[in-house]
Amino acid sequence: MSVWSLSTSSEEETGRLGRCLGRLIEQPLVILLSGDLGAGKTCFSRGLARGLGVPEEVPVASPSYTLMNAYTGRLELYHFDLYRLAEPEDLLELGMEEYLPGDGVAIVEWADLFTGLAREYLAVHLSHEQADQRRIECRAAGAGPLALMQKWQGEWLSQAGDND
């Protein structure tokens, strides 16, 4: 499993990181998000949605109470929040097996609460460093997610160079 670690210095930058990934996704993908409350999971997810072509006027919020929100973009986006689930059986009731993997992009907040959600995935862990800074660790499992992560890293680093 390959790993890429980086830091972002603002909520906007965390969102831009998600948007950068969203623009590169061309086929169904499972993204497993983890991190403490307020670490930026929803901010990252919102950026990802915009990168996938979900219109700016469509609100993208954490589905904490609905458990899953669906959005239409270049690919369908299924945004899950597992925070309120307690048992693996809850995942079956939610119908997650239809989405992991499915026909679109599934982004799963609090994915670390359950194991074995997908065989191939991109995992993104966000943690607080200080104030608005976030430490982000990305891991890829599977050839497709690994190639995407490498492309994402190259694109992100080239954009950072453009800002100098």
What is the rounded radius of gyration, in angstroms, for the C-alpha atoms of the chain? Answer: 15
pLDDT at 64: 65
The tens digit of pLDDT for each residue in 63-121 reads 666 678 889 999 999 988 888 777 777 776 767 777 677 789 999 888 888 888 888 99
pLDDT tens, residue by residue, 44-57: 999 999 999 999 99
- Closest residue by Cα to residue 33 from 114, 133, 144, 108: 108
Q: Domains in the chain, please, with CATH? A: 2-162 (3.40.50.300)
Q: What is the pLDDT of residue 164?
A: 41
Q: What is the DSSP string of 87-104?
A: SHHHHHHHTGGGTTT-SS
What gap in Å lies between CA 37 and CA 123, rounded to an integer? 17
Contacts of 105 (CB under 8 A, 6+ apart): 25, 28, 29, 30, 31, 48, 52, 75, 76, 77, 78
pLDDT tens digits for range 130-161: 877 899 999 999 999 999 999 999 999 888 75
- Give the pLDDT score at 107: 92
DSSP reduced 3-state for 153:
helix
More confident residue, 142 or 62: 142
List pLDDT tens digits, range 34-46: 998 888 888 999 9
Is pLDDT above 60 for 163? no
Total residue length of the chain: 164
Residue 63: what pLDDT?
Answer: 67
d(CA 45, CA 42): 5
